[in-house]
Structure 1
Amino acid sequence: MDWQKFLQGESGIHELSPEQTETLLSALFSPEKAPLNQVKLSADLSIEEPTVKQRLGEIYKKFSASFPELSDKQGAGKLKILHTKLKQKYYQTSQSVVVPKVSNSSPYAEEFTSLIEEKIRTFCGRKFVFDTFKQFITENPHGYFTIIGDAGMGKSSIVAKYVSEHKSPCYFNILVEGRNRPELFLKSIRRQLIDRYQLPNSEDADLPTLLANVAEKLTLGERLVIAIDALDEVEQEAGENLLHLPTTLPDRVYFLLTRRPYNLGKKRLSVSPGVLVTDLDLRDEKYANYNQDDIKEYIGFVINTDSEYNNGLRNWIQSRSIADTAFVEQLANKSENNFMYLRYVLPAIAKGDYNDLSLKQLPDGLQEYYQNHWMRMGLEAKPGQLMEIVLYILLEIGTPIPCEMIAGIAKEDECDVEAVLDEWVEYLKKQNVDGDICYTIYHASFFDFLKSKREMHSKRKLFREVNQRITEYLEKRMA
């Protein structure tokens, strides 16, 4: 059913007169375009503006039984409300979906399957983000929607959750894996779009061409949403849009983006007039209560549901005679609305790492947690030991490397290096690269912490030695 036939059906259901039906069809001529104002309606229908206003008033009354918001709204804006509500019903009636068809066996890009599954395993909350994005794609014909937040606020998990539910094409920029360049992004997205939409002769197509070809294949009510995580980690020369994102977009094509904050002078997304760019900043005070509720929901989930940690957490809480509500409340405050903090602290509590501390003595915020752990591992008191050398090798190399290579650079026994890696396992990512188990630093926030430690002590002999050892090792391998 097309949009005009749908509106005619709704006119009959709500007993509109022929004149009112004619006015409704003209005012809401397209599901993807903004409604006409009274001046334009008057011109299109060749009637006076007071007559248009009267007809619209009667239309609102007849639709108010279905959409009470029309009665609640005072003044202007009712036509936009009616348009939005009818669009939602139209898409539901048409059994439309936001999800594009998938022709291959994997619901999303195979290269990101393990990352997505890990991110959504304990996902909680963020309804306000999804609701805001849903409203954005409902009310706008196309556009860019960016989620902004500090490291650890759950941006990647939000994208993973959206992709897992909607099977959207996606790309996750990962600095520490070197997966953060425009050519890699285009190669991945091109393959995803070709597989999903059966696009012939598109192996060398650029992104605007691919989007235009997909737009022609979208069925009634269908949209294309491409999700891209961590624009702040993209490695690209200045002077052009990040990942060469298009300045114009076809109708019903949207991008869901995430990034960490940056200065306005460093903005790297320019678009043509008419392409809407909207931001949702998780740090905004208006979202403070939503963030806090989601954090509390996550803590409650781990305490009550996560079989890996709930017993240890319960023992820690009960041994200190703390009420569950008090534990959730105080830990939520200490987290500073940072999910990465909880990802580290909750398992540490469950494993007994904080048996010598009270609830009030737990670290405040993610950076204090990293510093606390750094000191508890003895790295502040005994600089230069193997543990610190291994961490800085990982930092300096910046890409996945095997234990054998780390040991070679450190000039230490491989078993000793492996023991260090095991001690820092929650901060590192293990992956199979060409048959070798390789390690990288897990999260950008820990990467930043190590960089700050390096910058703070850049004159220490240790850092010069680490860089010298890396150079010597690489030169030896190339000889």
Structure 2
Amino acid sequence: MGKSTIAAKYVSENNAICYFNVLVDGRNRPELFLESIRKQLINRYQITNIENADLSTLLVKVTGKLSNNEKLIIVVDALDEVNQEPGAENILYLPKTLPDNVYFLLTRRRYEPTKERLYTEGLKKEYLDLTDKKYNSENAKDIQEYIRFYLENYPEHKNGLQNWITSKNIKHDAFIKELADKSENNFMYLRYVLPTIAEGKYNDLNLTQLPQGLQNYYQTHWGRMKMNDSSKEMKVMILFTLLEIATPIPCEMIFDILNQDECDVQNVLDEWIEYLRKSNIDGDICYSIYHASFLDFLKTKRELKATRKLFTEVNQRIVDYWQREQG
């Protein structure tokens, strides 16, 4: 629904203190959140002697630095991606009370209300559900504007999209409306599908045959890449390795775990690069899953009988790798 984009836009426009939880990069633990917020507050408000302070103490210290009517607003994205043991504490150990003029702007994917883990004492909580039906028309309008911009102004892909539409004898408005419906108001769907169309990978499909929704898109791509064939098992194991390690790792580590040729592993990573994030860590190019939605898709794959054996084998190879490293 664009919750992270909304949060990022707010941070950009207001220079807000912030923390973005990222499950696929391992940046989703309470101690990392606290460390980041502490550093930002120290740098902005020049507070001292709080190197080991908890969040409640930090916030009280900061209020003494705020000018009249100044507010401290802290943005925290993707609470659903936080890695924290179950318990009675708040998610990220957020305080149950707040000093005056201190606010948190929090985002998360849909959740069961009983699993909110956000207990407060005397604080007002307000909710904005982006999936509420009353926003359907506005969300659909945003989606259609995004498609239209991509179709008419995006330099890298507009020609490919125009050619596909022309070859299918489709009017622009019909293409925009149908693709918006298929996206189910999910921008991540469009991030994948629009370039795929432009690059000619859906030349054998017509408009109505395009995948319906993001998870169906992943499934369609999985099938078109023939990932269920026995000859593709190593490709599946490479993705499962990224799923299980759950933090960015270099290509070298993957081929050591799976005992495969480096070039073969790199070719698979390049083949799936649109679903992966590349990052430079201490001079090494590392890879991780790009988005939590693809992570969810891979988790469903590991539960299937057809791929469960591969997942078990990947876990054993990871164990063997760590034993070799520590031995």
For the aligned pair, the TM-score class normalised by the smaller chain equals: over 0.9
1:105-184 → structure 2 map (5 Å cutoff): 153-184=1-32
Q: In terms of mean alpha carbon deviation, does 368-377 or 251-260 score higher?
A: 251-260
| Match for residue 388 of structure 1 among 212, 236, 247 | 236
Partner of 1:257: 106
Q: Secondary structure at the match of 1:268?
A: coil
- Matched residues in 2 for 1:220 and 1:313: separation? 53
Give me the TM-score of the superposition, normalised by structure 2: 0.96
For the residues of structure 1 that align with 2:9 and 2:264, how far apart are their CA atoms? 38
CA distance in 1, matches of 2:311, 2:168: 42
Q: Select which of 109, 114, 120 maps to 1:271.
A: 120
Query: How far, CA to CA, are the matches of 1:426 and 1:210 in structure 2?
Result: 40
1:331 is paired with a residue of what secondary structure? helix
Q: CA deviation at 1:203?
A: 2.1
Match for residue 463 of structure 1 among 311, 315, 318: 311
CA distances 1:318-354 after superposition (whole Å, capped 9, x unpaired):
2222221111110000000111100100111111111
Q: Within the alignment, does 1:294 sit opposite 2:142 as a pair?
A: yes
The answer to whether 1:227 aligns with 2:75 is: yes
2:44 match: secondary structure = helix
Gaps of 5+ in 2: none
TM-score norm. by structure 1 comes to: 0.66
Q: 2:293 aligns with which of 445, 461, 474?
A: 445
Q: 1:265 and 1:348, CA in 2 relative to 1: closer, same or farther beyond 3 A?
A: same
The residue matched to 1:205 in structure 2 has which SS? coil
Report 1:96-107 matches (<5 A): none
Aligned counterpart, 2:88: 239
Listed one character per residue, the Cα deviations across residues 285-315 of structure 1 (whole Å, up to 9, x for unaligned) are: 1111111111111111212222222221122
Matched residues in 1 for 2:154 and 2:46: separation? 41
Distance 1:226 1:335 in 2: 31
Change (3 A) 1:459 1:308: closer
User: Counterpart amino acid of 1:303?
Assistant: L
2:152 aligns with 304
Instruction: Point out the structure with max Rg over C-alpha.
Output: 1
Rounded Cα–Cα distance in structure 2 between residues aligned with 1:310 and 1:197? 46
Structure 1 residue aligned with 2:61: 213
CA positional deviation for 1:382: 3.3
Cα distance between partner residues in 2 of 1:251 and 1:460: 52
* Distance change (3 Å), C-alpha of 1:215 and 1:460: closer
**1:215 CA displacement:** 2.1
The offset of 1:460, in angstroms, is 4.1
* Aligned residue type for 2:212: D
Q: Aligned partners of 2:318 and 2:93: how far apart in 1?
A: 34
Question: Secondary structure at the residue paired with 1:280?
Answer: coil
The aligned length equals 326
> How far apart, CA to CA, are the structure 2 residues paired with 1:417 and 1:442?
18
Query: Deviation per CA, 1:247-269, whole angstroms, max 9, x where unpaired?
Result: 11122211111111222221200
Over 6 Å off, 4+ runs: none
What residue number does 2:162 align with?
314
Distance 1:221 1:314, change over 3 A: farther
Question: Retained in 2: the 8 A contact 1:375–1:381?
Answer: no
Select 1:423's aligned residue among 271, 292, 297. Answer: 271
5+ residue gaps in structure 1?
1-152
1:194-244 Cα offsets, whole Å, 9 max, x none, are 111111222222212222222232223422111001111111122100111
CA distance in 2: counterparts of 1:329 and 1:301, whole angstroms:
13
CA pair 397-418 structure 1, distance change in 2 beyond 3 A: same
Separation in 1 of the partners of 2:33 and 2:315? 30
1:408 to 256, 261, 264: 256
Other-structure match for 2:323: 475
- CA shift for structure 1 position 417: 0.5
Q: The residue matched to 2:209 in structure 1 has which SS?
A: coil
Say whether 1:370 aligns with 2:226: no
1:355 to 203, 206, 209: 203
Measured in 2, the distance between the counterparts of 1:352 and 1:477 equals 44
